[in-house]
Structure 1
Amino acid sequence: MQDSIGVIILAAGAGSRFRQAAGPDKDKLLADCTGRDGGVRSVIEQVLVNLPAHLDKRVLVTREDRHQTVRMAQAYGCDCVELDSPGLGDSIAAGVQACPDLGGWLMVLGDMPFILPASVEQVAAGIREDGISVPVFAGEYGHPVGFGRAFASKLMALTGDRGAKALFAGARVVEVPVDDPGVTWDIDVPEALVFK
């Protein structure tokens, strides 16, 4: 089913915790970040670089004022959906609505630049029509999270700040063990830009 998986990059959040620490004009998605490959890129570019090439249906969901992020995403082959809401539920719904006829969707957070491409591959490979695929590192669920086709209507019905966590209840969850701390490492504060 992997060939019909869409990647939804969720990048519409305001990043308020990061801005409180770094300054009100600092967008964490554009902050310089040294990737696990040693390359220095913006956070959002690190995320895009780590997406496997064969997952070529890509949709970035972001805010209307993030012109640089949109240009970057387009350079990496993404369609872009501009959203006037920082809510995670709204972002997921908009992303799936942009490509509703696929076999599944992989939800990638725009502020998680340290996920290894192999981990993305493994989670994508674990997607089943009626299941949720999630990486597990050190006993903790991480990202990205994959949803099969059966979840389309529920994903498109999400709203507000609540993400898709509620969909796990009663679902067939495929846990994908990974040796990758990047699946639980997000950028909320400037100190997190350095991977340890």
Structure 2
Amino acid sequence: MPSQPIVIVLAAGKGQRYLASGGTTHKLAASLAGSTVLAHVVSAVEASGLQVHIVKSAAGDGIADSIAAGVCATADAAGWLILPGDLPLIQPESLRQVADALARHTVVVPHYRGQQGHPVGFGKACFDALSRLSGDVGAKSVIQKYRLTDEVFDLSIDDQGLVTDVDTVEDLSRAEDLFVRAINQA
């Protein structure tokens, strides 16, 4: 069994909001700074040193179905970091911080300047609840269950990539601007 959590990258959605906003391809295949949105996410996971499992299809249409599929496919993992595939600016160090905190907590919820972000980390104790998820509500019910028992750790991380998702063409343009600004500041 792996000693580190596995990052479950959710890539099974239809990207309907992106297409409705004028996108000509699926949002995860959209070009961002010379690569695709999804490739940026996978690259960050690989740079973090954590294992990755990409969910490209699930039995149902909802995000919770994708989470359940990913967790069931990696049932021997020490835990899971649930990362939507549309967060191309996520930093490898942020993934490490969530993984490190998960070694001491059952659920880890990252925040950027007070806004809840991703990836949310879930320990092995969450397997049953995560594997039974279905629909389009994500894992909020699992977080709420563990919050009632004070087993949720809210982790503040200074990474705008935790909350910068690509749901529309305008979001992609904003992400591109942020990406270029970060390169110029480095």
The number of aligned residues is: 170
Larger helix fraction of residues: 2
- Aligned twin of 1:182: 161
The percent of aligned pairs where both chains have the same amino acid is: 38
* Greater than 6 Å deviation, 4+ residue runs: none
Name 1:18's counterpart in structure 2: 18
Question: What secondary structure does 1:3 align onto?
Answer: coil
Query: Is the strand fraction higher in 1 or 2?
Result: 1
CA distance in 2, matches of 1:177, 1:90: 28
**Residue aligning to 2:4:** 4
Aligned equivalents of 2:112, 2:13: Cα separation in 1: 25
Residues 1:55 and 2:50 are matched in the alignment: yes
Distance 1:114 1:2, change over 3 A: farther
Shift of 1:106: 0.7
The residue correspondences of 1:30-69 to structure 2 (distance < 5 A) are 30-34=29-33, 40-51=34-45, 52-56=47-51, 58-62=52-56
Superposed CA offset, 1:14-36 (max 9, x none): 1111001124x5211110112xx
Deviations 1:109-150 (A, max 9, x none): 101101111111101111147611121111111001110000
SS in 1 for 2:152: strand
User: Partner of 2:153: helix, strand, or coil?
Assistant: strand
Secondary structure in 1 matching 2:129:
helix
The more displaced of 95-104 and 162-171 is: 162-171
Gapped runs of 5+ residues in structure 1? 35-39, 63-81
- 2:62 equivalent to 1:87: yes
TM-score normalised according to structure 1 size: 0.80
Shift of 1:83: 2.4
Helix, strand or coil: the match of 1:101?
coil
Residue pair 1:130, 1:149 contacting (<8 A) in 2 also: no
Scaled by the length of structure 2, what TM-score is found? 0.85
- Tell me, which stretches of 5 or more residues in structure 2 are unaligned? 179-186
The one-letter code sitting in structure 2 at the alignment partner of 1:188 is: D
